[in-house]
Structure 1
Amino acid sequence: MAEVKLHGFWSSPFSCRVIWALKLKGVEYEYIEEDLLNKSELLLKYNPIYKKIPVLVHDGKPIAESLVILEYIEETWPENPLLPRDLYDRAMARFWIQYGATKCADAIGALYVASEEEKEKAAKEILEVLKILEDQALGDKKFFGGDNINLVDISYGPCAYWLPALAEAVGVKVLEPSTLPKLHAWAKNFIEVPVIKENIPEHDKMTAYSRSAREKLGKN
Structure 2
Amino acid sequence: MEDVKLFRTWSSPYALMIVWALKLKGVEYETIYEDLANKSSLLLEYNPVHKKVPVLLHNGRPICESLVILEYIDETWNTGTRFLPEGPLARATTRFWSKFNAEQVAPSVFRAYVSEGVEQEEAKGPALQNLDIVEKQLIGKKFFGGETFGFLDLVFGWIAHYLEVFEKAGGIELLDKQRFPLISAWKDNFSDILVIKENWPDREKLITKFQLMREYFISTAAAK
Amino acid at match of 2:175: L
Query: Partners in 2 of 1:106 and 1:140 — Cα distance?
Result: 27
Pairwise CA distance, 1:132? 0.9
- Secondary structure of the residue aligned to 1:138 is coil
Query: Partners in 2 of 1:105 and 1:140 — Cα distance?
Result: 24
Query: Partners in 2 of 1:60 and 1:25 — Cα distance?
Result: 20
Partner of residue 161, structure 2: 161
Partner of residue 143, structure 1: 143
Partner of residue 70, structure 1: 70
Query: Partners in 1 of 2:121 and 2:184 — Cα distance?
Result: 20
Preserved contact between residue 57 and residue 63 of structure 2 (Cα < 8 Å): yes
Amino acid at match of 2:203: H
Deviating beyond 3 angstroms after TM superposition, the runs of 4 or more aligned structure 1 residues are none
Q: Which moved more, 1:175-184 or 1:52-61?
A: 175-184
Q: CA RMSD in A?
A: 1.6
2:34 is the alignment partner of 1:37: no
Task: Return 5+ residue gaps in structure 1 as ranges.
Answer: none
- Secondary structure of the residue aligned to 2:116 is coil
Partner of residue 183, structure 1: 183
2:36 is the alignment partner of 1:21: no
Trace 1:24-173 onto structure 2 (pairs within 5 A). Answer: 24-79=24-79, 80-135=81-136, 137-173=137-173
Query: Partners in 2 of 1:106 and 1:133 — Cα distance?
Result: 14
Amino acid at match of 2:54: P
Amino acid at match of 2:130: V
Query: Partners in 1 of 2:22 and 2:55 — Cα distance?
Result: 13
- CA deviations 1:89-135 (Å, max 9, x no partner) are 22211111111111112212211321222112212211110111111
Amino acid at match of 2:68: V
- Secondary structure of the residue aligned to 2:143 is coil
Pairwise CA distance, 1:87? 2.6
Q: TM-score, normalised by structure 1?
A: 0.94
Q: Which moved more, 1:82-91 or 1:177-186?
A: 82-91
Preserved contact between residue 2 and residue 30 of structure 1 (Cα < 8 Å): no
Query: Partners in 2 of 1:132 and 1:39 — Cα distance?
Result: 37
Q: Which moved more, 1:81-90 or 1:23-32?
A: 81-90
Task: Return 5+ residue gaps in structure 2 as ranges.
Answer: none
Pairwise CA distance, 1:147? 2.2
Partner of residue 12, structure 2: 12
Partner of residue 207, structure 2: 207
Pairwise CA distance, 1:2? 6.0
Preserved contact between residue 114 and residue 170 of structure 2 (Cα < 8 Å): no
- Secondary structure of the residue aligned to 1:32 is strand
Q: TM-score, normalised by structure 2?
A: 0.93
Q: Which moved more, 1:112-121 or 1:41-50?
A: 112-121
Query: Partners in 2 of 1:83 and 1:101 — Cα distance?
Result: 17
Q: Which moved more, 1:51-60 or 1:205-214?
A: 205-214
